[in-house]
Amino acid sequence: MNLSIVMTTCSTVLALGMMPLFLYLYSQFFSNLVEFVPFTNIIFALVMILVPCGIGILINYRVPQYSKIITKAGLMFLLISCAVIGVLAGISDGGKIFTVLSPQLIATAALMPLTGFICGYILSTLFRMNAPCRRTVSMEVGCQNIQLCTTILKVAFPAERIGQLFFFPVIYIVFQIVEALIFIVLFRCLQRLRPSQKETTEYTAVERAAQGI
């Protein structure tokens, strides 16, 4: 849990400087893009992300007994919000979904979290982390900050242009959740099929005792 909090905090703090820098570097190649990139609004959106993260870390440090309840409530709210946003986007611009979301874009939304999960696990294995840390790094790298994306969209762009832009984050978070659930189910199945370390130790001890007799 501590590793997850540290990784989330570092990625959010780095995003505060890297996101405007990233857009600024890209805007240099397009003459008319600089005036359309709202750097001030984007920085404000990133600060609004940092404040809830700081509150969450403080709650987890001061009153850890309530952190699990708040986490579960937050996840439920996130899932409900994503479902509502998806339904509203489908109702308002449903006819444009297949026009805006090309097969290449859908494939990108499906491969991005999968690539993050795999790369995170491989890199943490190369650094010789233990199994729980490898799984944590894998999930943290694969699960991108969709709230950051949607917040930037709401703050930085006019309301009449947000509708179609919301399609990709919605599709992305669907693939992200589905792929994460698949990995979790596979891991649980592997745990049930593979005997635990405690059972293996007990079996070895009994076998050695029997041989000694």
Closest CA to 141 of 158, 157, 159, 129: 129
Q: How far apart are CA 46 and CA 151, in angstroms?
A: 8
Tell me the per-residue pLDDT of 33-88, one tens digit each, with 9 for 90 and over: 555 556 666 667 667 767 877 787 788 788 888 888 888 888 888 778 777 876 77
Q: How far apart are CA 115 and CA 111, in angstroms?
A: 6
Q: Using the predicted structure, report yes or no on whether residue 119 has a pLDDT greater than 80.
A: yes
Calculate the CA 122 to chain-centre distance.
Answer: 17
> What is the average pLDDT value for the chain, to the nearest integer?
74
Closest CA to 4 of 79, 62, 57, 64: 57
pTM of the model: 0.61
The pLDDT of 9-29, averaged and rounded, is 68
More confident residue, 200 or 93: 93
Within 10 angstroms of residue 57's Cβ, the number of other Cβ atoms is 15
pLDDT of residue 106: 83
Q: Which CATH class is domain 2-179?
A: mainly alpha
